Chains A and B, each alone.
Chain A
Amino acid sequence: MSPRITGSTALRVLSQLRRDPRTVALLLVVPALLVVLLKYVLEGSPGSFERLGGPLIGLFPFIVMFLVTSITMLRERTTGTLERLLTLPLAKLDLLLGYGIAFGLVAAAQVAIVAAVGIGWLGIDVAGPIWLLVVLAIGNALLGMSLGLFVSAFATTEFQAVQFMPVFVLPQLLLCGLFVARDQMAHFLYVISYAMPLTYAYDALARVTTSDVFDRYLARDIAVTAGVILLSLALGAATLRRRTA
């Protein structure tokens, strides 16, 4: 691994994004717009927006980065650039971290905007430190990225990659406790929800928005999320094969 190669990979990914202003605009503006939309959708049910808004700030980066990464990595695979990169003195970690840095920066900008709109304008109340919410949100972006990277290995077309979103992301969103408290679900779903990475990511976000106590549950959530990021990055790296059939 080399910082020079990791850094230039991040720069290359950012210059690809820079040439695609429409995607950048969508990445930056859409989450904020959705939060505004949610505020007015929930106007008639007091307390709901306050409960959902905070965690959502941290969940958007997860969804967006999952999608962006699975498509970009699929493109690297299908256009032959991945094969070329792997014939060069580039470590797999250079590529993964390069993507992580570039998308992490985008996620940070995305979170900054949605947090400014949600907390600053719409009055979402965050009990814990806001910086921790932002850090968790960026962590979720990396979680989405690493899962997206991993599943991109199982897609052969962009259509398939897009379909992985409802397959991998939607069930996790439904089970994580965002819409319905997990203990109110059918018991087997409650059990399954413990095996979903997003459950812990959401739980951490919900704790930070409702309390300013850093307890062991929050520590557990953060540890599990970090562990899953590392695990799926390792799995993703394993799908980058130098030799293929």
Chain B
Amino acid sequence: MASESNGHVPAIEVENLRVVRGDNPVLPDLSLTVTGGSVTGLLGPSGSGKSTLMRAIVGVQLISSGSVLVLGQQAGSRPLRREVGYVTQAPSVYGDITVHENLTYFARILGAGEDDVVRVLETVALEAFTTRIVGTLSGGQRARVSLATALLGRPRLLILDEPTVGLDPVIRRQLWETFGELARSGTTLLVSSHVMDEASHCEEVLLIREGRLVSSEPPRELLRRMHADDMETAFLRLIEEEET
């Protein structure tokens, strides 16, 4: 795999992870590796277990068995709370206070200063909205406030659950450029999406379906291997191949 050939230390190592909700094994037995300093896409249809995997990596998911190592430490352990930025699918910010008040609060928790608040607002292009009450913003803007809070304190690993859903294409492109820049400056990003074509922005793609990893490789390699022109087709052929 690429992670071994280019000499990076894996940022995330998941081994035999099993998560059961009720009687339903959401992740029956999952093992995977995410390379440090890259953008890795986590792709799969909705309900495939993407969010559950991400929650396990952040350390908020109760797991049945297996291990999740993040930056060499047990997922969710205390030192990781400054190193891992997490954005949930639904924006988790306070709707009844302003953008700036939200960011200031989270910045203080992390011990980050006002300069950091200004920096993340610039990154998500919300400088003009600092005094707006979050609840009055559009869904996309709210998602960007949520993303901005995760960038505070420059975490080494960013776990972003569907950060581009419902955003207009211009902003979506800008965000993917931002993700690329963050990766070049040494941040590791794991970005989930159910839109297969977003894989083209990633150096590596993890495809999961029904809680199982069906592929883990650079998108170009997957396309070549499946003789496909787009990720959607590649994914379909991969599933057909699995089932036969």
A residues adjacent to B (C-beta < 8 A): 4-5, 8-9, 11-12, 15-16, 19-20, 79-81, 83-90, 242-245
Once the chains bind, are A242 and B109 in contact (CB under 8 Å)? no
Q: What are the 6 A-B residue pairs with the smallest beta carbon separation, nearest first?
A: A80-B92, A8-B108, A89-B81, A12-B105, A84-B92, A243-B62
Stretch in B94-102, B203-211, B218-226 with 4+ CB within 8 Å of A? B94-102
Stretch in B82-90, B166-174, B188-196 with 4+ CB within 8 Å of A? B82-90
Once the chains bind, are A79 and B60 in contact (CB under 8 Å)? no
Once the chains bind, are A80 and B82 in contact (CB under 8 Å)? no
Once the chains bind, are B61 and A244 in contact (CB under 8 Å)? yes
24 A-B pairs within 8 Å (CB atoms) are namely A4-B108, A5-B109, A12-B101, A15-B97, A16-B94, A16-B97, A19-B96, A19-B97, A80-B91, A81-B93, A81-B94, A83-B60, A84-B88, A87-B81, A87-B86, A88-B81, A89-B78, A89-B81, A89-B82, A242-B59, A242-B76, A243-B59, A243-B60, A244-B60
Q: Which of A5, A11, A244 contacts B62 (CB 8 A)?
A: A244
Cα–Cα, bound, A89→B77 (Å): 10
Cα–Cα, bound, A97→B216 (Å): 45
Cα–Cα, bound, A245→B52 (Å): 9
Q: Which residues of B contact A12 (CB under 8 A)?
A: 94, 97, 101, 105
Shortest CB distance A13–B (Å): 10
Q: Mark B7-29, 1 if CB is under 8 A from A, else 0.
A: 00000000000000100000000
Once the chains bind, are A245 and B109 in contact (CB under 8 Å)? no
Cα–Cα, bound, A243→B56 (Å): 9
Once the chains bind, are B62 and A87 in contact (CB under 8 Å)? no
| Shortest Cβ distance from A90 into B: residue | B109
Cα–Cα, bound, A242→B97 (Å): 25
Q: Which residues of A contact B93 (CB under 8 A)?
A: 81
CB of B239 within 8 A of chain A?
Answer: no
CB of B111 within 8 A of chain A?
Answer: yes
Select the residue from B96, B101, B109, B149 with max chain A CB neighbours within 10 A.
B109
| Shortest Cβ distance from B82 into A: residue | A89
Q: Which residues of A contact B129 (CB under 8 A)?
A: none
CB of B176 within 8 A of chain A?
Answer: no
Shortest CB distance A37–B (Å): 30
